[in-house]
């Protein structure tokens, strides 16, 4: 299951992601927001990431104006590796090499078509492991300092 979250600036992009997930019969849980009223991204980053940490969801997709605020908030949550991506290679590499579990997208940065391509590659790319597992473990160890 995919955890979804957005603020008002990412709401329309999140809705496009929902349409894609529905078309592919991919289960998701929408943690909000639920309209374009001004709101704060950290609330929805936390809610969606808690869905991952609890085990209810496997990965997450967060949308805001740039993807940056969501990624900063998400990365404060123990166990989350969030990446703001606006190109195909980065979305693929963050799964291959960083085992990212959250993709952050910016509605003001990427169009809906590109966003769906980024979602596809993020959801369909497996972590390579190997030498990258050591590096991911080092990243995660930083949370305990």
> Cα–Cα–Cα angle for 25, 105, 20, nearest 5°?
20
**Catalytic, out of 49, 64, 85, 104:** 64
- Catalytic, 64? Answer yes
The first and second tokens of residue 42, run together, are 């950290």
- Catalytic, 104? Answer no
| Secondary structure in 3-state letters for 58-90 | CEEEEEECCCHHHHHHHCCCCCCCEEECCCHHH
Biggest CA–CA distance in the chain, Å, is 45
- What whole-number distance in Å separates Cα of residue 3 and Cα of residue 6? 11
Q: What backbone phi and psi angles, to 5 degrees, belong to 138?
A: -65, -40
The catalytic residues are 64, 97
């Amino acid at each position: 299951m995919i955890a979804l979250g957005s603020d008002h600036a990412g709401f329309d992009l999140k809705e496009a992601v929902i349409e894609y997930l529905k078309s592919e019969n991919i289960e998701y849980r929408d943690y909000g927001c639920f309209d374009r009223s001004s709101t704060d991204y950290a609330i929805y980053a936390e809610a969606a990431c808690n869905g991952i940490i609890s085990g209810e969801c496997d990965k997450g997709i967060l949308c805001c104006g740039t993807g940056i605020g969501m990624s900063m908030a998400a990365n404060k949550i123990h166990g989350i590796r969030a990446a703001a991506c606006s190109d195909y290679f980065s979305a693929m590499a963050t799964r291959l090499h960083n085992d990212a579990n959250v993709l952050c997208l910016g509605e003001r940065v990427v169009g809906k078509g590109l966003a769906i391509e980024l979602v596809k590659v993020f959801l369909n790319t497996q972590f390579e492991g190997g030498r990258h597992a050591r590096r991911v473990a080092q990243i995660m160890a930083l949370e305990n300092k």
